[in-house]
Structure formats: structure tokens, C-alpha cells
Amino acid sequence: MGRYSIEQFVQTTAQKDRGEGKFELERDRLLEVNLDGKVWIKKGTMVAYNGNIRFTREGVLEHGLGKLVKKAVTGEGLSLTKAEGNGKLYLADMGKKVIILELDGQSIYVNGNDLLAFEETIKWDIRMMKKIAGFLSGGLFNVLLEGKGMIAITTHYDPLTLQVTKDRTVFTDPNATVAWSGTLQPELHTDISLKTLVGRSSGESLQMAFKGEGFVVVQPYEEVYFATVQS
């Protein structure tokens, strides 16, 4: 931003309709939801809205007893708000970049901290990586989204998507891992030599190993929301 008159500033930064559908990027870090019905959003991410929109915190049994039990047992931090009505809703999360994905029968795993919003047509569930749970305090939990509709995820800076094939295993830092295709089931991988080099407490000694066919999305930032390795 440079120097503007008031009129120039208002014109330059004004909201613009792009006609891209229910979810569209108003800015690269700001999601516009053209609401006509219902959508689920991450709690605390509404920055502005106009029209007739009601916000309701998810009920205790809103998504069924199964999800309630999982959230209670795992301490899963995913907290949702239901937005209903008609109008324009603007969402942002800590200045992170927003990416809109349209699912057409596919499935994707997203770290709960990086899930910004999704349409009510999307089916979702909390999943635990059982093979990692024994090494992390409380295990490792993510959100599986599938079906038809739009979802919005967030990343610190520009994401990188790596292809996983039968001949190429991809290893990632859990704290930098944002999402991966529903066809993959990551396993725990520890690098003893790396532990020796950088110290036992380093998160880099614990990695996620992706094998099979699919993709994994990482960000150039280590976000500390996973539990630490137990000694």
C-alpha cells in the first residue's frame, strides 16, 4: 500500500464481486462466502458480514454421538460455528493464505487447525492415525472431508504439493503438514541419526511417511499444534 486520498483508498480496497460461486477469494487471505443457506466455519474466523446471517455454535450432539466422543477423548481442537441465512460473510484466520478446493466425490484429510470452512453438503469425520498415537501424547487427529461441495483451507505462506507414488515415498514434518489425499494413510517415521545430530527434542526426528498413490500438502512454516514426542 502506498499513499492515497480517502476516495482512492476506498476505491482501491473496495469489495468486488467476481461471480465465482459460493466461495470466492476476496483477497488471498480473505474468504468471501456468498451465503444462501448454511455453511460450517472455524470458530473465531468471522471478520465481517452483511445481510441476514445467524451464527450458532455447534450443539453437543450436532454431528452425532460418535464425533462428540472422539472430540472428548482426543481433545481435538476443531470447533465449528454454523452460519445460516442470506448475505456475504468474510472469513480470515491469523492472516494465513486461503485456498478453495472443490470436491467432486473425492476425499481429503486436513489438519483441523487449517480447516477454515466447508459447505453443508460435505461429509466429515475426525480420524486418528493409530500407528502414530503411541508416540504422540494423545495421538494425532485430522479431519476427513468427502463428497461434493467446496471447502476452504489455510496455509502459512504458499503451499507446496508433493506427489506420492508407489516408487516415491514422501516424508514430512508433522508441524508443516497441512493436508493429504484420502487415499493415503501416513505412518510414523523416526530418524535416529537426525536425532543424534540435532538433539532428542527436535521435532524433525519425528516424521510422517506417505506411501502409495496420492499427494501431500506442506507449508513453509512449522506450526506448533501437534503434541510432542513422549520420552
Each of the 231 residues of the chain gets a pLDDT tens digit; together they read 688 889 998 998 898 888 778 999 999 999 999 999 999 999 999 999 999 999 998 654 444 434 443 443 334 456 889 999 999 999 999 999 999 999 999 999 998 889 999 999 999 988 776 555 444 444 467 889 999 999 999 999 999 999 999 999 999 988 899 999 999 989 887 776 655 544 444 455 788 999 999 999 999 998 865 433 332
Backbone angles phi, psi at 136, to 5 degrees: -115, 145
- Are 199 and 148 in contact by the 8 Å Cβ rule? The answer is no
Give the model confidence (pLDDT) of 123-169 as tens digits.
998 877 655 544 444 446 788 999 999 999 999 999 999 999 999 99
Domains of the chain: 19-155 (3.60.160.10), 157-221 (no CATH)
What's the pTM?
0.83
